[in-house]
Amino acid sequence: MNPTIRISIFFLATGLALSFCTTGKTIASGEKNSTGNEPKMGTASNFLEERSPPAQTYTNQIFDPKVKTMLLYTSKSELNPPIIQLNGTEQIILKFDDLGENARDMYYRFEHCTHDWKSSELHLLDYQEGYNTDFISDYQFSFNTIQPFTHYSLAFPNDRIQLTKSGNYVVKVYADDDEKQPILTARFMIVEPLATVSGTIKRPSVISERDYRQKVDINVNLNGVGTLNPYSEIELVVLQNNRLDNAIRGIKPSFIKGRELIYDFQSELTFDGINEFRNFDAKSVRYRSERVTEVDLMDNGYHIYLSPDIRRAFKQYSFDQDINGKLLIKNDDMQNAHLESDYVTVHFTMPVDAFLGNGDMYLFGQLSNWEMDDRFKMDYNPLDLRYEKSLKLKQGYYNYIYLWKYKSQESGTTELTEGNYFETENNYTILLYYKDRSTFSDRLVGYKVINTLKN
């Protein structure tokens, strides 16, 4: 039976909430609700946007334990990061599963953010047109799976909500009509390409770092950016393989020549080279793929046991083709991967000689939503001298690495788990923000992805 859709628009200024209810799966654009009217459009007089605390930093995070496999990419490719052009034809695709037999009403809304993922505190009308919040009408039930779930899919911007400013955004999804706590938050970006960005990756100039680090040099032509003071109004952010924990930001240009900014430093734009991502193939439970040692069917579903992951630190570098930490939901035995791929329990282990000490080990990649989340923290087993973790994951092909996070540091490192090598194939994403004082927003005006093998 289709769930009941409840559309709630909250009037924060008066404390009055008006609820519009209708029965059925969707209300398409132009259709009426039970009052005979369309859901009202957002205006300054009938809606005041609830503000988030200024200090809050948004992350890719799932808050509801029933929600799994959050995917965010562009309509062009599942492997593309969630970055699209302002007023372009591409859309961002958000997909996730809600475990259980019953579907829930899911709603979404957007918030504009600063370059460092805090709320920009702009009013909704400053960056959005159309409805203030909308429901996710595209949902389907799983079939041929042991674990039942509802699969939700959303493409945006769309004909109901349009985004009018460039910059960083977070999409928040709520279950039923509870807008106090989202079930997930996911980050994406919209760029207006006013600046031209280019970059190259080199060996570091510091001799002691040449074998294990990678240096990024960047050139920017400001072209149509109306800044008069690039030192204070331009913000550069560089990411390695979609990671934010080790992002480099706050770097000012080393030289300015007219409208050209040059970022060429000895060590300020240098990253640990890390190692190629590990992988496992769980596209089928009928056979054991290369790194799978055992597949068992138990009362709670299939269990997949991976070969022990040997520490690669201080070993010789070896190239291995990867997809830089991403994942693909695939199923070799079924036609509809998103609806017929089951949830399986995957068992990870890393043998060690002894407890590694003052820190924690995390499984990391798109499978952890690019965050060092406690749900992906490895547990140390002193009896078997190994770190281990069991995760419920959807069938597919996965990349991952192990990050070590020292207690005193915010970013993760691979120095104890994977090693660092200059030869590693990595993507670097260069983001250029313009702090526009006239609009009180950080506009994303330049974007470029460079690769160590395609310089």
With vertex at residue 94, the alpha carbon angle to CA 55 and CA 404, rounded to the nearest 5 degrees, is 55
- CATH code (residue 250): 2.60.40.10
For residue 205, what are the domain limits? 196-274+425-451
Whether residue 376 sits in one domain with residue 300: yes
User: In whole angstroms, how far apart are CA 356 and each of 34, 203, 242, 309, 380?
Assistant: 61, 30, 27, 15, 9
pLDDT value at position 25?
38
Contact 416, 179 (CB under 8 A): no
Assigned domain for 46 exists: no
Percent of the chain at pLDDT exceeding 70:
88
Taking only the tens place, the pLDDT of each residue in 129-156 is 999 999 999 999 999 999 999 999 999 9
Taking only the tens place, the pLDDT of each residue in 218-273 is 999 999 998 989 999 999 999 999 999 999 999 999 999 999 999 999 999 999 99
pLDDT at 301 over 50: yes
Chain-centroid distance, C-alpha 170: 10
Residue bearing tokens 């992350």: 59
In the chain, how many domains are there?
3
pLDDT value at position 121?
92
Residue bearing tokens 């660092």: 420
Taking only the tens place, the pLDDT of each residue in 198-222 is 999 999 999 999 999 999 999 999 9
Which residue pairs, CB below 8 angstroms and at least 24 apart, start in 403-410?
403/245, 403/361, 403/362, 403/364, 403/372, 404/356, 404/359, 404/360, 404/361, 404/362, 405/359, 405/360, 405/361, 405/362, 405/372, 406/358, 406/359, 407/358, 407/359, 407/360, 408/358, 410/245
pLDDT value at position 56?
86
- The mean per-residue pLDDT over the stretch 367-381 comes to 97
Whether residue 270 sits in one domain with residue 161: no
Asked, as a colleague might, if the bond just before 157 is cis with ω within 30 of 0, I would say yes
pLDDT at 39 over 70: no
Whether residue 372 sits in one domain with residue 322: yes
Whether residue 161 sits in one domain with residue 262: no
Which residues in 265-412 belong to E strands, given as ranges? 270-272, 278-281, 292-298, 301-306, 327-328, 343-351, 359-364, 379-381, 386-394, 397-406
Taking only the tens place, the pLDDT of each residue in 384-413 is 999 999 999 999 999 999 999 999 999 999
- The mean per-residue pLDDT over the stretch 73-83 comes to 97
Whether residue 184 sits in one domain with residue 65: yes
Assigned domain for 6 exists: no
